[in-house]
Chains A and B, each alone.
Chain A
């Protein structure tokens, strides 16, 4: 099973709200990723967790706060977002981030709209 699940599928939030996106995988992967994708553009890497520790932060604004409670779960906490943060947020996982030959598997994404 090569499935990465994400909830919710759609999220509409105001600029003063706090919400969270959730990602889960049960493939035993030890690397998990958050990407942001705008319409007609390729995904942009936001964060990488390796063995439950933050490995890469691509200079993402602090209104996005990632969390990796265990090896199967990845959250993205959202606070005081701007309308330009509206996008498709994709989660991905791979067997081991440090072994660079491994394939990345993506979830279906959460469509976020900030009003």
Chain B
């Protein structure tokens, strides 16, 4: 059974710092991994999608990497800003999950202090 873990559960950093969020999964048989951002009480915003054949994806100040063999992904945020404060969720689409449904981690709550 696929399990997804995100560490740490919460993170507080000063503005301007570069930071890394971690996501690990137990079964490397995945189609892809998706990183989302969620503001309190709001929906999920898709940040980056990495296919199983890819090693990384970049969008602006965000860079996501994927090491399928070790079951790990990282989300790197450069030069963090207070507006980056949100909960970040990773989700994998497993090959052996029914219908390829997304399996989510518990999320990392990020606070960037001015």
- Residues on A facing B (Cβ under 8 Å): 2, 4, 6, 41-43, 45, 48, 55-56, 88, 90, 92, 97, 100-101, 103-109, 111
Inter-chain CA distance A104–B33, complex, in Å, is 11
Interface centre among B31, B51, B99, B104 (most CB of A within 10 A): B99
Tell me if B's interface is mostly helix, strand, loop or mixed.
Answer: strand
Instruction: Tell me whether A106 and B101 are in contact (CB under 8 A).
Output: no
Inter-chain CA distance A13–B91, complex, in Å, is 31
With a cutoff of 8 Å between Cβ atoms, the chain A residues found around residue B45 in the complex are 106
Contact flag A42-B104 (CB < 8 Å), given A106-B36, A106-B44, A107-B43: yes
Contact flag A41-B42 (CB < 8 Å), given A100-B31, A100-B100, A101-B31: no
- Compute the total of residue contacts between A and B using a CB distance below 8 Å: 53
Inter-chain CA distance A45–B93, complex, in Å, is 12
**How many of B's residues come within 8 Å of A, CB to CB?**
25
Instruction: Tell me whether A104 and B34 are in contact (CB under 8 A).
Output: yes
Partner of A104, one of B41, B42, B46, B107: B46
Partner of A42, one of B31, B43, B89: B89
With a cutoff of 8 Å between Cβ atoms, the chain A residues found around residue B93 in the complex are 100
With a cutoff of 8 Å between Cβ atoms, the chain B residues found around residue A2 in the complex are 46
* B65 adjacent to chain A (CB < 8 Å): no
With a cutoff of 8 Å between Cβ atoms, the chain B residues found around residue A6 in the complex are 43
**Min CB gap B66→A, angstroms:** 13
* B62 adjacent to chain A (CB < 8 Å): no
**Min CB gap B2→A, angstroms:** 13
Contact flag A101-B51 (CB < 8 Å), given A56-B98, A106-B43: yes
Interface centre among B36, B41, B44 (most CB of A within 10 A): B44
